[in-house]
Amino acid sequence: MSINIILIGAPGSGKGTQAKMLIEEFGCVHLATGDILREAIKNQSEVGLLAETYIAQGKLVPDKVIIDLMRDKISQIPRKQGFILDGFPRTLAQADSLELMLSALEIEVDRVIYLEVGLKKIVTRMSGRLTCLKCGRSYHKIFNQPRMDMQCDEDQAELTVRDDDKEHVVIDRFKTFETQTQPLIDYYRAKNLLSIVDAEQDIQFIYNTIRDTFNNK
Ligand code: AMP
């Protein structure tokens, strides 16, 4: 089964974790804008240099930069493989551009999953989040520990706390989500594509609920 999915959720809602589980089951392409941008920063590419200050401050990178970047990435997805968009779109302008990109490629989105979580839960989760800067996988000091202390299970690279996972930046990122990204909920509801999932539950429960949304489609 091939699936085309958009994951929407505030920082710390578990988009990356759920995306990785979906990929393991469905083998689709995972496009995570945050990971792509962090890689660009690491390589000091033009996009990376542009994005760096926005990310550090918990602000969104300008639409034009993201839209150009994603147009390129989406056009490279093998048709039959399916995709998970994780962190894109994040504004109405991005959503409109995505619709144009996909219709030009004659691709349809199957489902938009909104992972709903409150700020209090997000701060608890993010305060223990560890990230592998090599592959982007996330762990948690208490809830989702790596097998070896501070080492990624996938590639054994050292785990770090992202600068933008610090508490005051997390709160700013949440506010950015509320003002800029939340309007997408109504946008996709109006298109009959939206499923809301209670993402305060545990990882496996959330995954099962997401799976149910395809079965009940
Ligand atoms: P994430 O890892 O998805 O939480 O993204 C980390 C940061 O990258 C965000 O706080 C934004 O600064 C930037 N970013 C990621 N995706 C987008 C997007 N679609 N539009 C604008 N900025 C983005």
101 and 47 Cβ atoms separated by less than 8 Å: no
- Cβ(6) – ligand 1 distance below 6 Å: no
List residues with catalytic annotation.
15, 90, 129, 162, 173
What is the CB neighbour count within 10 angstroms for residue 78? 10
Give the pLDDT confidence score for residue 166 in this predicted structure: 85
CA 60 to ligand 1 center in whole angstroms: 6
169 and 130 Cβ atoms separated by less than 8 Å: no
Give the pLDDT confidence score for residue 216 in this predicted structure: 63
Q: Supply 175's token pair.
A: 């506010």
Measuring from atom 8 of ligand 1, which residue has the nearest CA?
A: 34
Q: How many residues does the chain have?
A: 217
- Cβ(58) – ligand 1 distance below 6 Å: yes
pLDDT more than 90, % of the chain: 78
Largest CA distance in the chain: 46
Q: What is the 3-state secondary structure (H, E, C) of the chain?
A: CCCEEEEEECCCCCHHHHHHHHHHHHCCEEEEHHHHHHHHHHCCCHHHHHHHHHHHCCCCCCHHHHHHHHHHHHHCCCCCCCEEEECCCCCHHHHHHHHHHHHHCCCCCCEEEEEECCHHHHHHHHCCEEEECCCCCEEECCCECCCECCECCCCCCEEECCHHHCHHHHHHHHHHHHHHHCHHHHHHHHCCCEEEEECCCCHHHHHHHHHHHHHCC
211 and 107 Cβ atoms separated by less than 8 Å: no
- Cβ(33) – ligand 1 distance below 6 Å: yes
Calculate the alpha carbon distances from 35 to 1, 30, 86, 120, 189 in Å.
26, 10, 9, 24, 27
Instruction: Please state the atom number of ligand 1 nearest to the C-alpha of residue 57.
Output: 12
CA 35 to ligand 1 center in whole angstroms: 9
- In sequence order, what are the residues at sequence separation of 6 or more whose Cβ sits closer than 8 angstroms to the Cβ of residue 47? 37, 40, 65, 69
The stretches in the chain having pLDDT less than 50 are none
- Cβ(55) – ligand 1 distance below 6 Å: yes
Instruction: Please state the atom number of ligand 1 nearest to the C-alpha of residue 176.
Output: 10
CA 151 to ligand 1 center in whole angstroms: 24
Give the pLDDT confidence score for residue 78 in this predicted structure: 87
pLDDT of 22-45, one tens digit each?
A: 999 999 999 999 999 999 999 999
Give the pLDDT confidence score for residue 164 in this predicted structure: 84
- In sequence order, what are the residues at sequence separation of 6 or more whose Cβ sits closer than 8 angstroms to the Cβ of residue 107? 4, 79
- In sequence order, what are the residues at sequence separation of 6 or more whose Cβ sits closer than 8 angstroms to the Cβ of residue 124? none
Q: Supply 25's token pair.
A: 């089951």
